[in-house]
Amino acid sequence: RKEVEQDPGPFNVPEGATVAFNCTYSNSASQSFFWYRQDCRKEPKLLMSVYSSGNEDGRFTAQLNRASQYISLLIRDSKLSDSATYLCVGMDSSYKLIFGSGTRLLVRP
Amino acid sequence: GAVVSQHPSRVICKSGTSVKIECRSLDFQATTMFWYRQFPKQSLMLMATSNEGSKATYEQGVEKDKFLINHASLTLSTLTVTSAHPEDSSFYICSATRQGRIHNEQFFGPGTRLTVL
């Protein structure tokens, strides 16, 4: 079983839609979690950190449930520019990142 | 914000040659850097952890004699792919950890696309 699992998608949504991505992790050693965004043939870029209390950054909301080992990302009012692959990532105490395989989002006009 | 650079961004070489890739943290010091590899339509796979002033730690299945890592300073790590073969063609990405007050963030370099003919 992969340490971080994501639905690969693709999620194909119209502009303006709300879309939610889920992620589960099996390694309890992961202490911090993040959502990264990766565009085609580019490096991953940090979208946001994920906290148990939940955090919101504009149209993006992330949530961590340690009891269920579950992480979510909600994107409201999707834009065409949101089309990308979203990577769910855990970090252990030695700063190693453990990547999910990514969820592909396509936002259509 | 923090910036991590990689050089070269793209390299094409003949089978059997060695290729050196540099990773630099431009505005912060990084005692730990990481090297990843990403094949098409797959996620990033950690190859090794580069520790300043000490030997790198390699992930299972990664040959340390083939992928030489040197972390000579707090801002520079290098990955050398020795005797490269076509199956080594991939997107190599480094990252550097910036220690923060609340948590630590990793910043990625722009990647190096290696094509071995």
What is the pLDDT, as a whole number, of residue A29? 67
Residue type, A25: Y
What is the pLDDT, as a whole number, of residue A39? 93
Tell me the two tokens of residue B49.
Answer: 């952890």
Residue-by-residue pLDDT tens, chain A, 109 positions = 678 899 888 999 999 999 999 999 987 767 789 999 999 888 999 899 897 788 899 999 999 988 889 999 999 999 999 999 999 998 887 778 888 989 999 999 9
Candidates B36, B44, B98: best to mutate against A (most CBs of A within 10 A) is B44
A window 40-59, beta carbon within 8 A of B? 41-46, 49
What is the pLDDT, as a whole number, of residue B17? 96
What is the pLDDT, as a whole number, of residue B52? 85
pLDDT one-digit tens code per residue, B17-58: 999 999 999 988 888 899 999 998 888 899 999 988 888 999
| A77 φψ region: left (φ > 0), alpha (ψ -120 to 50), beta (else) | left
Instruction: Give the residue from chain A lying closest to B34, CA to CA.
Output: A96
Residues 6+ apart with CB under 8 A from B40: none
